[in-house]
Chain A
Amino acid sequence: MLTLAGIAKRFGGIEALTGIDLAVPAGSLLGLIGPNGSGKTTLLNVVSGFTAPDAGEVRIGATEVTGWPPHRIARLGVGRTLQHPRVFSRLTVLDNIRGDSRLSAGEAEALLDRFGLSAQRGRLGDELTIGELRRLDLARAVARDPRLLLLDEPAGGLTPSETSAMADLLSREVLPGRTGILIEHKMDLIAALCPCVVVLDFGRRIAEGAPSEVLRRPEVVEAYFGTEGADA
Chain B
Amino acid sequence: MAHDLAQNTVDGLMTGSAYAMLALGFTLIFGVMRRLNLSYGPSIMIGAYLGTLVHLQFGMGAAVVALVTVLGAVAAGFYVERLCFAPMRGQAATASMVASFAIWMQLEELATLLLPRHSYPFPALIARPPFEIAGILIRADRLLTLGAAIAAMLALWLLVHRSRFGLALRATARDRATARHLGIDVDRIGLIAFLGASALGGLAGMLVIAADQQITPMFGMWATFKGLVAMMLGGLGSIPGAVIGGLLLGVVEAHGQWFFGPQLRDLLVYALLFLCLVLRAGIGAGVPSAERRI
Please give the residue numbers on chain A whose beta carbons come within 8 Å of chain B beta carbons, in ascending order. 48, 50, 69-71, 74-75, 80, 82, 86-91, 95, 98-102, 140, 144
Complex CA–CA separation, A101 to B170 (angstroms): 14
Contact across chains for A99 and B291 when beta carbons are under 8 A apart? no
Which residues of the partner chain B approach A50 to less than 8 Å between Cβ atoms? Answer: 180-181
Contact A99 to B174, CB < 8 A, known contacts A89-B290, A90-B290, A90-B291: no
Is the CB–CB distance between A144 and B183 below 8 Å? yes
A100 touches B168 (CB 8 A): yes
Q: Label chain B's interface by main secondary structure.
A: helix
- When the two chains form their complex, are residues B184 and A99 in contact, meaning their CB atoms are under 8 A apart? yes
Within the assembled complex, what's the spacing in Å between the Cα atoms of A70 and B176?
12
Of the candidates B164, B171, B174, B180, the one whose C-beta lies within 8 Å of that of A70 is B180
A-B contact count (CB 8 A): 64
B4 at the interface (CB under 8 A from A): no
- B168 touching A82 by the CB < 8 A rule? no
Q: Which residues of B contact A140 (CB under 8 A)?
A: 182
Least CB separation from A77: chain B residue = B183
| Known interface pairs A71-B186, A90-B291, A100-B164; A48-B181 also in contact (CB < 8 Å) | yes
Task: Give the chain A neighbours of B109 by CB distance below 8 A.
Answer: none
17 A-B pairs with CB atoms under 8 Å apart are A48-B181, A50-B180, A69-B180, A70-B180, A75-B183, A80-B181, A82-B181, A86-B177, A88-B170, A90-B291, A91-B171, A98-B164, A98-B167, A99-B168, A99-B171, A99-B182, A99-B184
Residues of B167-222 contacting chain A, CB below 8 A: 167-168, 170-171, 174-175, 177-186
A88 to B181, CA, bound (A): 12
Flag if B183 contacts A100 (CB, 8 Å).
Answer: yes
What B residues does A75 contact at CB under 8 A?
Answer: 183
New contact pairs (13) apart from A89-B174, A91-B170, CB-CB < 8 Å: A69-B180, A70-B181, A71-B184, A74-B181, A86-B177, A88-B171, A90-B291, A95-B167, A99-B168, A100-B168, A100-B179, A100-B182, A102-B164
